């Protein structure tokens, strides 16, 4: 969801996609919970809705790099048989980030580790390989 080039938001590769997603998303949630970063990021996303230059910079610096890292980690898990071979990884990225952005920007409910678990459970039930 968010990256500032900090190593704490890079994806681990433990061989367990669920554990790796959990660790990375929790790190992002923790980062957004640190004042004033959360408020600043919320304001930046808001400004991007009205200013194409801010939107382009936000996408270039934060959104696209994190999306690429997420899809790359999902692709590796898919190649390892941890995810269904026909699952659309770009859609998975949207499914993972959408609920977090919705809560962070729209409802402004707290982003918690428990919520991360609920999002991961909801997504991963549908993408794990079936016998």
Which residues form the domain of 117?
15-122
pLDDT at residue number 131: 67
pLDDT at residue number 68: 94
| 9 located within any domain | no
CATH number of the domain to which 67 belongs: 1.10.357.10
| 50 located within any domain | yes
C-alpha torsion angle, residues 53, 57, 27, 95 (rounded to 10):
70
pLDDT at residue number 57: 97
| 10 located within any domain | no
Could you please report the per-residue DSSP string of 25-91? HHHHHHHHTSTTHHHHHHHHHHHHTT-HHHHHHHIIIIIHHHHHHHHHHHHHHHHTTSS-TT--HHH
| 76 located within any domain | yes
User: pLDDT for 50-91, tens place per residue?
Assistant: 999 999 999 999 999 999 999 999 999 999 999 989 989 999
pLDDT at residue number 3: 44
Using CA atoms, how far residue 128 sits from 80, 81, 102, in Å, is: 12, 9, 25
| 93 located within any domain | yes
Give the total number of structural domains in the chain.
1
Tell me what the mean pLDDT of segment 101-105 comes to. Answer: 96
Using CA atoms, how far residue 121 sits from 8, 18, 30, in Å, is: 23, 9, 19
pLDDT at residue number 122: 87
Question: Does residue 37 contact residue 29 with C-beta atoms inside 8 Å?
Answer: no
| 7 located within any domain | no
Tell me what the mean pLDDT of segment 115-121 comes to. Answer: 94
Using CA atoms, how far residue 44 sits from 83, 85, 122, in Å, is: 34, 36, 29
pLDDT at residue number 7: 47
């Amino acid at each position: 969801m968010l990256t500032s080039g900090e190593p704490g938001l890079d994806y681990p590769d433990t061989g367990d996609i669920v554990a790796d997603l959990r660790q990375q998303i929790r790190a992002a949630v923790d980062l957004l919970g640190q004042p004033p970063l959360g408020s600043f990021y919320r304001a930046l996303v808001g400004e991007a809705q009205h200013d194409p230059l801010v939107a382009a910079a936000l996408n270039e610096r934060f959104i696209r790099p994190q999306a690429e890292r997420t899809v790359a980690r999902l692709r590796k898990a898919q190649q390892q048989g941890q995810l269904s071979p026909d699952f659309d990884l770009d859609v998975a990225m949207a499914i993972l980030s959408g609920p977090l952005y919705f809560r962070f920007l729209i409802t402004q409910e707290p982003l918690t580790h428990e919520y991360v678990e609920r999002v991961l459970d909801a997504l991963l039930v549908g993408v794990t390989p079936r016998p």
